[in-house]
Chain A
């Protein structure tokens, strides 16, 4: 019996050596065969394609970027890890990707940054990117980067579409002007969400002056039941247009079930709510991925804090649901986009909104330099408008505009 056991163990070890050698061989072969135009890229996602929202959007961007790079002869090999939590599994995942030889590692969620930073210092020749966050300016590391897009532009244009629909409802007598209330399902009470719903509100207000907004925070980027309940609660409190900063489609279907309208985020939701969802806005990450990966391969100096807007194609609107959109919406949106691009109008134009019950906004700091979550440097209000995403890519607009009511808060 003992001889048999020993014989089996020896066999197992021999087999192990054989196969270990095998994989090493293939690894040795790869560098020889590859040209200088192959680059290994890592991507950490907080969810996966199943969410049909945030991470799905990143994966769409990744696929699109791979195509664009391949067209130029660059072969991007992706190693993607899904369902990483905003905790130490993120640190481990970053380390694993670094050890696997990735030259670029994208962290897709806001909450990944602190964990990414724990690893970035140990791999100085790998570029670590934290999307939607902002620490690269102050973290004293050369190899960390941040990126976002001027999503407030997309929100503004979606707001214009919503406002056009509200105008149509007022004209048809379905609602009175003061009943034009928008309900917004928010995630957390951070600047990113506040900036989003404020720009949406301003877009709607630019065409429908009597509009007001109610915001309900659910305390999570993705909680299907809570989002459905929040949307229903908003409708019960008189909202006739629902929008969201959260990942699930339940606000859209809840809006449709309640007979009101909706605009979405991250993905086109008119497929699930064709009678309610007018349009959605999303960030096209392929623009950034393409630039960054190409730049890394070519050894260029890369923008530590990248932010581009609709003009560069980083923010896109999904297809307008013409079956339910108000007539003239497509033209009005085109006009708005052109005006934003030319600088004729600005989203956070301080003459178009008031704060603190009727006061004009004359001063707001943009950046938080000491980590206490209160902005304390860089004046953002000048030239007649609040400069969002100007000093850093992550949004920093936190003012409470008159006309927007917060029903609760969530951190």
Chain B
């Protein structure tokens, strides 16, 4: 039992990174923009988020650094970096109407390069590891609920031991779900994603919705990169740990069928499958096959969900297609 609890707790750590990436990308894709640059955005978020907290600490000194302030600065810096990268993507695809796939892939390469360059620039300037002090490391990864909650048998250990980012991601997912389903603005956004020409004739400002959702979605994904660096990578800049995470997020968006609430359990499930080979021993499966498990499960679920061919499980109809008003 405790092994299962430990598995879930460990899965949540990596799952939180995926949650941010997935939720951000869902927002972007709901407006019809297929932003394949999530990988690059997460790299930039990781590098700039760490830079924000690192230079904050240098400015006030290691003794005086406040955990909450550092978290806020890191989140803000990551969001800004992701937002700017997505702004570039948005300008190219919405205003200039370049091909979305190509632009997204270019953004991946660009963002990865910028992120790694920034990280390395900091490392060379510091002459050593770019790391935060123990004080801040604890702030980023410690449990937010008081010990009393954590001591509740079983449920307490599963639900209340996680760091602040997990709960933030859940709140974000719920807010986004309510936004899509219950607000007029959310409905307009979904309309823009399904059929921009119809929405345009109803008087909805297509450009504004697309830009805002791309930028905000990109910013949220970038926060995922920052969460990776500050939790899994232990608040030390790592130049290759984030590789592949952005692509996982893109796959998870499809896995979750563009519903933010599904992102919660989908990310944790994926995180659990990734680490299962370390914790659950099955004698006759070679380790290598065990490690493929998360990807096999993803493919199986994708196949099953496409077989049903349900209208609610489809992507936004205009996903990946640029809107040309002149063609209406």
Q: Interface on A for B, CB 8 Å cutoff?
A: 50-52, 216-217, 219, 222, 224-225, 228-230, 232-233, 236-237, 248-250, 252-254, 256-257, 271-275, 407-410
Smallest CB gap from A271: residue in B: B129
Contact between A272 and B239 (Cβ–Cβ < 8 Å)? Answer: no
Q: Which of B3, B131, B287 contacts A219 (CB 8 A)?
A: B287
Q: Check B327 for interface membership: any CB of A closer than 8 A.
A: no
Known: A217-B287, A249-B129. A256 touches B238 (CB 8 A): no
In the assembled complex, 11 residue pairs joining A and B whose CB atoms fall closer than 8 Å, in A order, are: A224-B241, A229-B275, A232-B10, A249-B238, A250-B232, A250-B238, A250-B241, A272-B131, A272-B235, A408-B287, A410-B287
Contact between A233 and B275 (Cβ–Cβ < 8 Å)? Answer: yes
Contact between B277 and A408 (Cβ–Cβ < 8 Å)? Answer: yes
Closest Cβ–Cβ distance, residue A240 to chain B (whole Å): 15
Closest Cβ–Cβ distance, residue B126 to chain A (whole Å): 10
Cβ–Cβ < 8 Å partners of A52 in chain B: 123, 129
Contact between A225 and B131 (Cβ–Cβ < 8 Å)? Answer: no
Number of interface residues of B (CB under 8 A): 34
Cβ–Cβ < 8 Å partners of A271 in chain B: 128-129, 131
Smallest CB gap from B123: residue in A: A50
Contact between A256 and B275 (Cβ–Cβ < 8 Å)? Answer: no
Give A97 to B236 CA distance when docked, in angstroms: 34
Cβ–Cβ < 8 Å partners of A254 in chain B: 234
Smallest CB gap from A409: residue in B: B287
Cβ–Cβ < 8 Å partners of B279 in chain A: 233, 236-237
Q: Which of B14, B235, B288 contacts A410 (CB 8 A)?
A: B288
Contact between A229 and B236 (Cβ–Cβ < 8 Å)? Answer: no
Cβ–Cβ < 8 Å partners of B326 in chain A: none
Give A253 to B288 CA distance when docked, in angstroms: 26
Cβ–Cβ < 8 Å partners of B275 in chain A: 229, 233
Main secondary structure of the interface of B (DSSP, over half): helix
Give A334 to B3 CA distance when docked, in angstroms: 41
Give A225 to B131 CA distance when docked, in angstroms: 17
Contact between A224 and B240 (Cβ–Cβ < 8 Å)? Answer: yes
Q: Which of B6, B131, B287 has the most CB of A within 10 A?
A: B287
Query: In chain B between 214 and 253, which residues have their CB closer than 8 angstroms to a CB of chain A?
Result: 232-236, 238-241
Closest Cβ–Cβ distance, residue A46 to chain B (whole Å): 12
Contact between A51 and B277 (Cβ–Cβ < 8 Å)? Answer: no
Smallest CB gap from B138: residue in A: A257
Cβ–Cβ < 8 Å partners of B239 in chain A: 50-51
Q: What 0/1 readout, one digit per residue, does chain B (265-294) give for beta carbons within 8 Å of chain A?
A: 000000000110111010000011011000
Known: A254-B234, A407-B278. A225 touches B10 (CB 8 A): no
Known: A233-B10, A253-B234. A222 touches B129 (CB 8 A): no
Give A254 to B235 CA distance when docked, in angstroms: 10
Closest Cβ–Cβ distance, residue B175 to chain A (whole Å): 28
The 6 A-B pairs at the shortest CB distance, nearest first, are namely: A253-B234, A224-B241, A233-B278, A236-B6, A50-B239, A272-B131
Q: Check B134 for interface membership: any CB of A closer than 8 A.
A: yes
Cβ–Cβ < 8 Å partners of B234 in chain A: 228, 249-250, 252-254, 256-257, 272-273
Closest Cβ–Cβ distance, residue A236 to chain B (whole Å): 4
Contact between B238 and A248 (Cβ–Cβ < 8 Å)? Answer: yes
Q: Which of A216, A217, A257 has the most CB of B within 10 A?
A: A257
Cβ–Cβ < 8 Å partners of A409 in chain B: 287
Contact between B287 and A224 (Cβ–Cβ < 8 Å)? Answer: no
Smallest CB gap from A408: residue in B: B287
Cβ–Cβ < 8 Å partners of B281 in chain A: 407-408
Cβ–Cβ < 8 Å partners of B318 in chain A: none
Known: A229-B14, A233-B275, A410-B288. A50 touches B116 (CB 8 A): yes
Closest Cβ–Cβ distance, residue A253 to chain B (whole Å): 2
Contact between B233 and A224 (Cβ–Cβ < 8 Å)? Answer: yes
Cβ–Cβ < 8 Å partners of B14 in chain A: 225, 229
Contact between B10 and A253 (Cβ–Cβ < 8 Å)? Answer: no
Closest Cβ–Cβ distance, residue B76 to chain A (whole Å): 23
Q: Which of B141, B278, B288 contacts A216 (CB 8 A)?
A: B278
Given contacts A250-B241, A257-B234, A274-B134, 9 further A-B contacts (CB under 8 A): A51-B239, A224-B240, A229-B278, A250-B236, A253-B235, A253-B236, A271-B129, A272-B129, A272-B234
Closest Cβ–Cβ distance, residue A255 to chain B (whole Å): 9
Give A257 to B278 CA distance when docked, in angstroms: 18
Query: In chain B between 1 and 37, which residues have their CB closer than 8 angstroms to a CB of chain A?
Result: 3, 6, 10, 13-14
Contact between B278 and A225 (Cβ–Cβ < 8 Å)? Answer: no
Closest Cβ–Cβ distance, residue B66 to chain A (whole Å): 19
Cβ–Cβ < 8 Å partners of A230 in chain B: 278
Closest Cβ–Cβ distance, residue A109 to chain B (whole Å): 15
Known: A50-B116, A410-B288. A275 touches B278 (CB 8 A): no
Cβ–Cβ < 8 Å partners of B274 in chain A: 225, 229
Contact between B278 and A408 (Cβ–Cβ < 8 Å)? Answer: yes
Cβ–Cβ < 8 Å partners of A237 in chain B: 279
Known: A229-B278, A408-B278. A248 touches B129 (CB 8 A): no
Q: Check B120 for interface membership: any CB of A closer than 8 A.
A: yes
Smallest CB gap from A224: residue in B: B241
Query: In chain B between 111 and 169, which residues have their CB closer than 8 angstroms to a CB of chain A?
Result: 116, 119-120, 123, 128-129, 131, 134, 137, 141
Give A300 to B290 CA distance when docked, in angstroms: 51
Cβ–Cβ < 8 Å partners of B119 in chain A: 50
Contact between A225 and B232 (Cβ–Cβ < 8 Å)? Answer: yes
Cβ–Cβ < 8 Å partners of A275 in chain B: 134
Contact between B10 and A236 (Cβ–Cβ < 8 Å)? Answer: yes
Closest Cβ–Cβ distance, residue A218 to chain B (whole Å): 8
Contact between A250 and B233 (Cβ–Cβ < 8 Å)? Answer: yes
Closest Cβ–Cβ distance, residue A277 to chain B (whole Å): 11
Give A50 to B13 CA distance when docked, in angstroms: 25
Cβ–Cβ < 8 Å partners of B235 in chain A: 253, 272
Cβ–Cβ < 8 Å partners of A410 in chain B: 287-288
Cβ–Cβ < 8 Å partners of B128 in chain A: 271
Closest Cβ–Cβ distance, residue A289 to chain B (whole Å): 22
Cβ–Cβ < 8 Å partners of A252 in chain B: 234
Closest Cβ–Cβ distance, residue B274 to chain A (whole Å): 7
Smallest CB gap from A251: residue in B: B234
Cβ–Cβ < 8 Å partners of B232 in chain A: 224-225, 228, 250
Closest Cβ–Cβ distance, residue A92 to chain B (whole Å): 22
Cβ–Cβ < 8 Å partners of B141 in chain A: 257
Closest Cβ–Cβ distance, residue B12 to chain A (whole Å): 11
Give A219 to B128 CA distance when docked, in angstroms: 27
Give A407 to B282 CA distance when docked, in angstroms: 11
Q: Which of A222, A229, A273, A274 contacts B240 (CB 8 A)?
A: A222
